[in-house]
Amino acid sequence: MSRLENKVAVVTGGASGIGAACCIALAEAGAKVVIADIQMDKAKSLQSRMHALGSQAEIFSCDVTAPAQWQALMAYTLEVFGRLDILVNNAGIAIVGTIEDVSLEDWNKTIAVNQTSVFLGTQQAIKVMKDSGGSIINISSIEGLVGNSLAVAYNAAKGAVRLLTKSAALHCGQQGYKIRVNSVHPGFVKTPLVEQAFSELPGDLAEQIVAAHPIGRIAEPEEIATTVVFLASEEASFMTGSELVVDGGYTAQ
């Protein structure tokens, strides 16, 4: 039996980068997957790739900052697959800005997409999972653990996701829900988000960031997806409220 046989997963930001790798890996482990994103062309092409691999995948247009769209996503998932076992709160954006120069608009946007979305998703998933149990996996970042002068809003949002995760995990435990809630903290990963962020960095900062990973490179999205599959599976049955750092040694120094 596959690790995630008969399980149903929703992955936000599932059309690209880490989210897409999670969709593929969760499906390879046996799960049925809902790819939730705002980039529907990309979602559709991932769905076709997954169908070609024999996986079950549906797509759903969902802006994770909108509460009503979360409700619609949950309703759609229950309608097509009948249950929800795994939620990966992965959708995110990166906007470069220091404490001195970040605009209020960029701050609010970053908090909405990277932080409030995780609150909304976790709250909605608990509603659906409270009787049946499940695993909620929140994609934070090394930048939820250590500071980056160029990403103050991102730092603030990812740090909040780390502790929101612990608070929700404690609540689920106290209520007797069989829901585990954990965060994942990737180092830099080769995705469109990082390509965009690197292109905005001054000088040789991008090269310096790569060199700051003692393992000698940045990650492939699949190297984060394996951790997500682990947390989704029964192999992580005693893990809740924890933070898994997958960073090639970045924060070890």
Ligand X SMILES: NC(=O)c1ccc[n+]([C@@H]2O[C@H](COP(=O)([O-])OP(=O)(O)OC[C@H]3O[C@@H](n4cnc5c(N)ncnc54)[C@H](O)[C@@H]3O)[C@@H](O)[C@H]2O)c1
Q: Which residues participate in catalysis according to the annotation?
A: 154
Smallest gap from residue 69 Cβ to ligand X (A)? 8
- Per-residue b/e over 45-75, b at no fewer than 16 CB within 10 Å? ebbeebeeeebbbbbbebbbbeeebbeebbe
Check: CB of residue 140 under 8 Å from CB of residue 31: no
Parallel, antiparallel, or unpaired for β 134-139 and 86-89? Answer: parallel
For residues 59 and 139, which CB has a smaller minimum distance to ligand X in the complex? 139
For residues 4 and 11, which CB has a smaller minimum distance to ligand X in the complex? 11
Smallest gap from residue 176 Cβ to ligand X (A)? 30
CA atoms 131, 137, 143, 145: torsion sign: positive
Binding site for ligand X (CB under 6 A): 12-13, 15-19, 37-39, 62-65, 90-93, 113, 139, 141, 186, 188-189, 191-194
For residues 141 and 240, which CB has a smaller minimum distance to ligand X in the complex? 141
Smallest gap from residue 205 Cβ to ligand X (A)? 14
Smallest gap from residue 112 Cβ to ligand X (A)? 8
Q: Which residue has the tokens 């024999």?
A: 54
For residues 115 and 178, which CB has a smaller minimum distance to ligand X in the complex? 115
For residues 13 and 159, which CB has a smaller minimum distance to ligand X in the complex? 13
Smallest gap from residue 244 Cβ to ligand X (A)? 12
